[in-house]
């Protein structure tokens, strides 16, 4: 049985880091990255804890083991993870439904990952719906960015309710897709 909840303990945060580490491109084959997806950003414990203290991350657990997570990141962490600064800059300058994104009250999924053992069981969708339940009262939108070569993740995000906001090429040549889910149109869905 896999349960979905808000992260509450240092042990759970360490479980997030362990799952993240296993799914970095350097730790999986190119074939696995293409077929199963991957994560890009490396979070250290301190920043993960600061983010969690602000807005708790969504986690999936099987017993005591973290088997999935959706990181919660508010605008105040915009400059704390240098690799994400371009994402925030690109998002904030975009117009969405007639308003600049920076003028919305939004939250960012700093990363999402599901363990191999938990894939294909609806964990991804359940975590995002828990995210919506936890944060849609305060936030209108949730945004995240996905490497365009991570097609499994893009398809999963579309399935949950995200749509493309913008595509851009980073300085390192990686193509990114910033996606948005407007919770104002799906509350109670």
First to last CA, the chain: 24
Question: Residues near 185 by Cβ (< 8 Å), separated by ≥ 6?
Answer: none
Interhelix angle 45-54/10-22, rounded to 10 degrees, is 120
Confidence of residue 188 (pLDDT cuts 50, 70, 90): very low
Residues 170, 176 contacting (CB under 8 angstroms) = yes
More confident residue, 188 or 121: 121
Partner residues linked to 6 by β-bridges: 58
Mean pLDDT of 119-128: 95
pLDDT digits (tens, 9 = 90+) for 28-65: 677 776 767 677 777 899 999 999 999 999 999 999 99
Mean pLDDT of 173-187: 87
Interhelix angle 123-135/151-160, rounded to 10 degrees, is 50
> Minimal CA–CA distance to 137: which of 107, 92, 111?
107
pLDDT digits (tens, 9 = 90+) for 128-174: 999 999 999 999 999 999 989 889 899 999 999 999 999 999 888 88
Please give the Cα distance from 101 to 93 (Å, whole number).
Answer: 7
Please give the Cα distance from 47 to 53 (Å, whole number).
Answer: 10
pLDDT digits (tens, 9 = 90+) for 66-86: 999 999 999 999 888 888 888
Question: Residues near 31 by Cβ (< 8 Å), separated by ≥ 6?
Answer: none
Say whether 56 sits in a helix, a strand or coil.
coil
Which of 2-11, 18-27, 51-60, 66-75 has the lowest average pLDDT?
18-27
Q: Does residue 99 register a pLDDT over 90?
A: yes
> Minimal CA–CA distance to 141: which of 184, 110, 171?
184
């Amino acid at each position: 049985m896999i349960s979905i909840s808000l992260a509450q303990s240092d042990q759970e945060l360490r479980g997030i880091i362990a799952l993240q580490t296993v799914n970095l491109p350097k730790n999986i084959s190119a074939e696995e990255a293409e077929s199963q997806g991957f994560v890009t950003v490396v979070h250290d414990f301190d920043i993960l804890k600061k983010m969690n203290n602000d807005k708790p991350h969504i986690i999936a657990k099987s017993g005591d083991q973290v088997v999935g997570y959706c990181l919660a990141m508010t605008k105040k962490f915009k400059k704390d993870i240098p690799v994400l600064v371009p994402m925030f800059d690109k998002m904030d300058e975009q117009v969405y439904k007639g308003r600049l994104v920076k003028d919305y009250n939004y939250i960012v999924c700093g990363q999402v990952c599901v363990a191999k053992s938990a894939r294909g069981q609806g964990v991804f969708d359940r975590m995002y719906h828990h995210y919506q339940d936890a944060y849609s009262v305060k936030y209108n939108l949730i945004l995240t960015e996905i490497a365009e070569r991570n097609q499994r993740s893009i398809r999963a995000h579309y399935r949950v309710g995200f749509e493309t906001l913008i595509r851009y090429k980073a300085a390192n040549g990686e193509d990114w897709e910033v996606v948005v889910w407007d919770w104002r149109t799906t509350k109670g869905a």
